[in-house]
Amino acid sequence: MKRISAAMLAIIIALASLNTARAADYTYTGLDYPGASQTQALGINSGGTVVGTYSDATGIHGFSLSNGTYAAVNYPGIGRQTFPTAVSSGGTIVGYYNTVMGHGFSLRGGTYTALNYSGALATYAYGINDGGTIVGWYWNYDRGLHGFSLRGGSYTTLNYPGALATYAYAINNRGTIVGTYSDASGIHGFSLSNGTYAAVNYPGAWWTNATGINDEGTIVGYYYDAKGYHGFSLSNGTYAAVNYPGASETDAYGINNEGTIVGWYTDAGGVHGFLATPGRDPG
């Protein structure tokens, strides 16, 4: 199962936060690509199109799901390692594919375009907004791991102040970016709005990853604590846990403007994608 690499790179320690947390009320729907051994949902647009990955005997492949119909997404010539991570309202998909190293891509109107940060050894595209701005991260062997934004063909490097590594994962139509950074104290989520960074730490978690944001500013992601992996949402300063019923692990990953969350969960049957549709506010 593919996991964000920041989670593998930093020391796990306890984090403190003054924000409040509550339970969330959602209607959950499992997603399984036909015939797949594992399915992970990673992105959703406001039309309800979902993108993600599935695994089978031939490797890891991308998919899109629209109006109940699945379609495979495979970067040309790459049979085993394609990872779509986000989709805009206009239907442009971004993600990355692996050869020896990772390379970003966009898919629009059936045409794939490779995305590679100049001089980087590896480039990973993760998010796109409706204006076509793409975010992700790149790796330069001697200069480390950095986030980036790509607009109009021009890349901009993103570094959380004082961080050892920065990963950008999503951008909304207002230009707010969310992601993850690591420093000497551990792994933290962040938001970047109008040039200002802010940390995102789930209360009591050992580490936090922020992976999605919608136009209302609701952030989603997942955190790790003594009980394992859990999804979360953050809206107006209030955190809410997102846990698929009966799952041993839940990872929330993307959110659209209707508040529907996508991600994946693990149970005795394996790894499955999910949709979490918001219901009443439990207060």
What 3-state DSSP class applies to 237? coil
What pLDDT, on a 0 to 100 scale, did the predictor assign at position 261? Answer: 98
DSSP state of 143: T
- pTM beyond cutoff 0.75: yes
Give the Cα separation of 92 and 107 in Å (integer). 6
DSSP at 173: T
| Nearest residue to 147 (alpha-carbon basis) of 171, 174, 165, 128 | 165
Give the residue from 160, 158, 133, 134 showing the smallest Cα distance to 148: 158
Question: What is the phi/psi pair of residue 109, to 5°?
Answer: 55, 35
> Nearest 10 degrees: CA dihedral of 248, 254, 256, 258?
10
**pLDDT 10s digit of each residue in the chain, 283 long?**
445 443 333 322 232 333 334 446 899 999 999 999 999 999 999 999 999 999 999 999 999 999 999 999 999 988 679 999 999 999 999 999 998 789 999 999 999 999 999 999 999 999 999 999 999 999 987 778 999 999 999 999 999 999 999 999 999 999 999 999 999 999 999 999 999 999 999 999 999 999 999 999 999 999 999 999 999 999 999 999 999 999 999 999 999 999 999 999 999 999 999 999 997 543 3
Round to the nearest angstrom and report the end-to-end CA distance of the chain: 35
Give residue 157's Cα distance to chain centre. Answer: 19
Cα angle 119, 178, 253 (rounded to 5 degrees) comes to: 105
Contact between residue 145 and residue 166 where contact means Cβ atoms under 8 Å apart: yes
Beta carbons within 8 Å of 159's beta carbon, 6+ residues apart: 146, 147, 166
Identify any residues that bridge with 114 across adjacent strands, giving them in sequence order.
Answer: 105
User: 32 near 244, Cβ under 8 Å?
Assistant: no
Residues with Cβ within 8 Å of residue 8, at least 6 apart in sequence: none
Between CA 271 and CA 41 the distance in angstroms is 10
Token output for 83:
């990872």
Euclidean distance between CA atoms 22 and 112, whole angstroms: 42
Angstrom distance (rounded) from CA 113 to CA 18: 43
Q: Specify the CATH superfamily of domain 6-278.
A: TolB, C-terminal domain (2.120.10.30)
Cα dihedral: 56, 73, 242, 3 (round 10): 60
